[in-house]
Amino acid sequence: MGIYPKFPDEHLRDNAKTWNIGMLDIERSRRYTDRAKVLKLWEDIDNYISTNKPHLIF
């Protein structure tokens, strides 16, 4: 699982467009949304681990 953090107004690098990764848009002017984005990130990580790496769950 890969995460690519970026600001919404930034363009992706050409090689990053070919990667199988999730985008994490970080708002410059709406920093109060950071907590919700981090919670969603950890939820995605937990789902990935439970689906693809169940031996890592304790």
Q: Could you give the C-alpha distances from 39 to 8, 21, 27, 43, 52, in angstroms and in order?
A: 19, 18, 15, 6, 20
Taking only the tens place, the pLDDT of each residue in 1-58 is 899 999 999 988 888 888 888 889 999 999 999 999 999 999 999 999 999 999 988 7
Token pair for residue 45?
């990580």
What's the CA dihedral at 51, 54, 57, 58 to 10 degrees? 150
pLDDT of residue 12: 85
pLDDT of residue 58: 72
Paired residues of 24 in beta bridges: 5
**Nearest one of 12, 5, 9 to 34, comparing CA atoms:** 5
